[in-house]
A = this chain, B = another copy of it.
Amino acid sequence: MLKSISTARTQQGTFTPVEKQMFGAALLIEPEISSTLDQASELGQTGYSSSLLQQLTCVTKRFRHLNAEQYLLRQQDSFESLFVVKKGALKSYRLTPEGEEIVTGFYLEGDVIGAGGLGNQKHFYSVVALEPASLYEIPFAKLLQLSTMEPIVQQLMLKLLSQEMQADQSLRLIQLKQVKAAIASLILNMANRLTTTQLTLPMSRVDIANLLGVASETVCREFTRLQKQGLLSVNRKHIVINDLPQLQQAAGADCC
């Protein structure tokens, strides 16, 4: 349900940890890609790669700040940049012809926004901040330009898109489940990403309902049911996980 399947990682290698973190945060480097970078350096392309790195870190130095309710981009905006969430939370959604909101995902720290526009001229969803948020901005033109010089960048872009696709797919899996399981999955996913048993949801019940395609009342009822079963403590947006194993079972093996 959340856009990123994995979080950015750093590794010891040819690049300094700081550089890697920067690069990783910007492009969600997986371990294997990270080592690809290392290998590239080891293969005598160090000069080339480090200049690449310089350009990338340069590119990612742009920042953008949003207040709650402010839009990062709107459906049909022309595609110009990728964004990486540095802090805060956002949601993406589309509108049905009837004006209903269909939430397509939530973005937390480290998530990449806009990969879906990589092959298109236009974005096909709007993205709005749920709380004050700051983001890195990566101009797509710059990225494309770099990619012609460095195949690694191209692979990264492909990987980004694939990840976003996989995230969408697991979202589909969630929707097919019982609502109870979907909620449990949502909570678990949030908790995993934040590595804590206590969390504050950035999104409203309505947002969750629109993500799962159910009524907001149903979301409420499932929250209270999970609380009565002792798996969660719920107080509005504040959630405490009381019984992790049971919750995982309720999620029904979050799968894939």
Contacts and interface: CB of A to CB of B under 8 A. Distances in A.
A165 B166 contact: no
Interface stretch (A65-73, A130-138, A150-158, A218-226): A150-158
A45 interface: no
A158 to B, nearest CB: 4
* Copies in the assembly, this chain: 2
B252 A97 contact: yes
Interface string A227-255: 00000000000000000000000001101
A116 interface: yes
A192 interface: no
B104 A169 contact: yes
A199 interface: no
Determine the main DSSP class of A at the interface with B: helix
A105 to B, nearest CB: 10
A207 interface: no
Contacts of A168: 165, 168-169, 172
Contact of A154 (B96, B147, B253, B255): B147
A163 B102 contact: no
Contacts of A176: 102, 175, 213
B253 A162 contact: no
14 contacts: A96-B253, A98-B253, A104-B169, A104-B172, A116-B165, A116-B169, A119-B161, A119-B163, A124-B166, A154-B154, A161-B165, A164-B165, A172-B172, A176-B213
